[in-house]
């Protein structure tokens, strides 16, 4: 099984991925394992006011995240809280920072690799809680969600929608387990 949880920041992907990983005994590959190293190496300061997504949107960082994700998700079985749909969406939302050739490379690579997932779960935006590590701009998070939804339709990806509608974590975990 190769399970992707995608959606905007703060939608519960990591929390649910960790819980499901423990229940079904499948490794949890955290996206933060890739991005945190880059942020630390490049001296990103969460208090600076610079949107973390904008900081990571440079051509070199986007390509590095893509390469590291390909390597990380080369496992036989896993659950991840970010994947190729997210990477493509963030790249599209950074279109002003990427040249057409780089954007094409990211989108083509993501479209090829997204077919490896056996299950895709799209999380709707939940309440944005300030954990000092995410962008709290609801409009930006909604844009990511909308682009992800559009890419999944364009690329004909089957997915299960995990609505926020006040569902507690246990209900979401159960919905995921039932869908597997």
Per-residue pLDDT of 93-112, as tens digits, reads 988 889 999 999 999 999 99
What is the rounded CA–CA span in Å between residue 154 and residue 43? 37
Coil, helix or strand for 175? Answer: helix
- Ranges of each domain in the chain: 2-179
Query: Do residues 56 and 35 touch, judged by C-beta distance below 8 A?
Result: yes
What's residue 135's pLDDT?
Answer: 62
Which CATH superfamily, name and number, covers 2-179? P-loop containing nucleotide triphosphate hydrolases (3.40.50.300)
Which has more pLDDT, 47 or 131?
Answer: 47
Assign 136 a pLDDT band (cuts: 50, 70, 90). Answer: low
Query: Do residues 120 and 157 touch, judged by C-beta distance below 8 A?
Result: yes
Q: What is the pTM of this model?
A: 0.90
Q: Tokens 């944005």 appear where?
A: 128
What's residue 89's pLDDT?
Answer: 95
Q: What are 160's strand-pairing partners?
A: 121
65-85 b/e (C-beta count within 10 Å ≥ 16 → b):
bbebbeebbeeeebbbbbbbb
């Amino acid at each position: 099984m190769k399970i992707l949880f995608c959606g905007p920041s703060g939608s519960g992907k990591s929390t649910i991925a960790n819980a499901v990983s423990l229940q079904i005994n499948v490794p949890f590959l955290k996206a933060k394992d890739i991005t945190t190293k880059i942020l630390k190496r490049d001296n990103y300061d969460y208090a600076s006011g610079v949107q973390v997504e904008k900081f990571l949107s440079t051509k070199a960082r986007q390509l590095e995240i893509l390469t590291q994700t390909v390597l990380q998700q080369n496992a036989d079985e896993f659950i991840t809280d970010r994947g190729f749909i997210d990477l493509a969406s963030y790249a599209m939302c950074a279109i002003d920072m990427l040249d057409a050739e780089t954007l094409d490379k990211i989108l083509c690579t993501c479209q090829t690799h997204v077919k490896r997932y056996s299950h895709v779960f799209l999380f709707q935006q939940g309440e944005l809680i300030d954990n000092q590590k995410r962008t709290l701009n609801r409009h930006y998070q909604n844009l990511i969600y909308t682009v992800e939804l559009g890419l999944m339709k364009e690329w004909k990806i089957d997915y299960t929608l995990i609505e926020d509608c006040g569902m507690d974590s246990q209900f979401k975990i159960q919905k995921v387990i039932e869908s597997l």
